[in-house]
Structure 1
Amino acid sequence: MKFSVLGPEGTFADAAAKAYLKTQPDTHITFDYHPTFDQVYQAVNGNNIGLLPLENQLDGYVSATLQRLQTADVTEIGEITIPVNFGLVANVKRLNEIKQLYVQFKTEGQCQKLLAKIPDAHIVTTSSNMVSLNKFLAGQAGEAALIPQSQMANQSAELMINQVADQTDNRTRFIIFKAQPAKLPTLAKTTLKTNRFKAPLFVTPATNDKPGTLYDILGYFASVNLNLVTLMSLPTKNQLGEYAFYIEISGTRDQQEELFATLHQMAAKYRVHPLGFYAD
């Protein structure tokens, strides 16, 4: 089996993938590293699986992942949450000497306190934390990078600062998926390994102009005591002002039948795009 993740080796995605495998039965896995979200998504086929970041404790949801899930024919089979933190490496002696800083697009929002100390530094956004490190290593005087804390012990630079995230208890949640459309009848037959489940999905109204649309959607779940742990709106991109709702439902095994009966009922009125049903 091939496991596609954001790479290269050493990224938080790599660490998350390896942490997830420790929770699974022994199987032969070949890691397949890619530099971009699209390449990870496109690489997953057949019985292979992939992993993408979904939510960070400090910087919120990863829009690049949600945008793909909104129209993707995939089934989420699980998730894994790992601690994350960052270190700063720079080829200068003092922070105010940094002229250019390499930082991954999601890392930037998690290290705002540090960035506030170097307001004159030019920020170069990268696709991964390891790309930031490699650009720094190939760079010139006056450059710096924010890199995974786990990589700090392997580096030697003039200036090195550990644990620079805004909070030391920072965590990121990743989803694991396969390239098979999630269908309500198939998901409803899933046998849970634990007593609790999580069910992610998108709900798209026919129109956003009608008053009470969101109230109506939420009422379906409230009427059967299903707990929503996530509710977000994303543009459908069909026209300005038109939105879909990303929802995550959490519940217990004895609510499984009610969940799928409710989603089936909703599907008669709204476009329901299920993404998975798995043990939480």
Structure 2
Amino acid sequence: MKFSVLGPEGTFADAAAKDYLKTQPNANVLFDYHPSFDQVYQAVSGDDIGLLPLENQLDGYVSATLQRLQTADVTEIGEITIPVNFGLVANVAELSQIKRIYVQFKTEGQCQKLLSSLPNVQIITTSSNMVSLEKFQSGELGDAAIIPQSQMTDLSLPLMRDNVADQDDNSTRFIIFKSQPANLEKLSRHHLTTNHFKAPLFVTPSFNDQPGTLYDILGYFAEHQLNLVTLMSLPVKSQLGVYSFYLELSGTREQQEVLFTTLQKMAAKYHVHPLGYYAV
């Protein structure tokens, strides 16, 4: 089985994938590294699996992942959360001598205190923390990079600062998925291996905006005591001002039947796009 993740080896996605495999008995996989979200998503087929970041504790949800899930025919089969932290490296002796700093697009939002203290430095956004490191290592005098703390031990540079994220307690949640539509009827036949579940989905109104739409959607879950742990809105892109709602529900094994009964009921009024149902 192939496991597609954001690469190269040594990224937080790589660490998350390896941690996830520790929870899976007899997992025999070949790691498949890609430089972009789209390439990871496109690489997953058949019985292969993929992993993408979904949420960071400091910088919130990863829009690049949510936008793909919004229309994707995938089934999420699990999630894994890992601690993340960052260090600063530079080939100069003082912060004031830094001219350019390489930083991954999501890392940037987690290190605002440091970056705001360098107002005259050119920020160059990259697609990966490891790309930031590679560009720094092949760069010029005055370059710097924010990289995973785990990569600091192999370096010896004039300027090195540990733990430059806005707070030490920081983590990122990743989803594991297959390239298969998450059919409600098929999902309802899946039995949990633990007592608690999570069920992510998109709900899109099938009519023009009107007062009380979100209240009505949330009422389905409140009526049946299904816990709502996430609520996000994303534009549908086909029309200005029209939005889908990304939801994550949680519950116990005893609520499995009521979960799928509720979603089937909602599907008669709204467009329900399930993304999976898995044990947590």
TM value normalised by structure 2: 0.99
1:36 equivalent to 2:36? Answer: yes
Aligned pairs for 1:55-204 within 5 A: 55-204=55-204
- Report deviation, 1:119: 1.1
- Deviations 1:29-79 (Å, cap 9, x if unpaired)? 100000000000000001000000000000000000000000000000000
Counterpart of 1:225 in structure 2 is: 225
For 1:242, give the aligned amino acid.
V
- Deviations 1:114-138 (Å, cap 9, x if unpaired)? 1122111100000000000000000
Counterpart of 1:267 in structure 2 is: 267
Q: Distance in 2 between matches of 1:99 and 1:208?
A: 50
Aligned length: 280
- Deviations 1:156-200 (Å, cap 9, x if unpaired)? 211000111111110000000000000000100111111000000
For 1:147, give the aligned amino acid.
I
Q: Distance in 2 between matches of 1:140 and 1:79?
A: 39
Q: Secondary structure at the match of 1:16?
A: helix
For 2:146, give the aligned amino acid.
L
Aligned pairs for 1:248-263 within 5 A: 248-263=248-263
Counterpart of 1:49 in structure 2 is: 49
For 1:264, give the aligned amino acid.
Q
Is contact 1:95-1:117 (8 Å) kept? no
Is contact 1:230-1:247 (8 Å) kept? yes
TM value normalised by structure 1: 0.99
Q: Distance in 1 between matches of 2:201 and 2:142?
A: 46
For 2:151, give the aligned amino acid.
Q
- Report deviation, 1:207: 3.0
For 1:88, give the aligned amino acid.
L
Q: Secondary structure at the match of 2:240?
A: coil
For 1:51, give the aligned amino acid.
L
Q: Distance in 1 between matches of 2:208 and 2:144?
A: 45
Q: Secondary structure at the match of 1:181?
A: coil
Q: Distance in 1 between matches of 2:269 and 2:231?
A: 19
Q: Distance in 1 between matches of 2:169 and 2:113?
A: 15
Counterpart of 1:243 in structure 2 is: 243
- Report deviation, 1:27: 2.3
- Deviations 1:230-275 (Å, cap 9, x if unpaired)? 0000000011101000000010000000000000000000000000
Aligned-residue identity in percent: 75
Q: Distance in 2 between matches of 1:44 and 1:189?
A: 24
How much is the aligned-residue C-alpha RMSD, in angstroms?
Answer: 0.6
Q: Distance in 1 between matches of 2:265 and 2:22?
A: 38
- Report deviation, 1:206: 1.5
- Report deviation, 1:208: 4.5
Aligned pairs for 1:8-47 within 5 A: 8-47=8-47
Q: Secondary structure at the match of 1:264?
A: helix
For 1:233, give the aligned amino acid.
S
Q: Distance in 2 between matches of 1:186 and 1:42?
A: 23
Q: Distance in 1 between matches of 2:145 and 2:121?
A: 11
Counterpart of 1:206 in structure 2 is: 206
Q: Distance in 2 between matches of 1:27 and 1:168?
A: 32
Is contact 1:208-1:243 (8 Å) kept? no
Q: Distance in 2 between matches of 1:242 and 1:231?
A: 16
Gaps of 5+ in 2: none
Q: Distance in 2 between matches of 1:222 and 1:144?
A: 50
Q: Secondary structure at the match of 1:210?
A: coil
Q: Distance in 2 between matches of 1:190 and 1:167?
A: 39
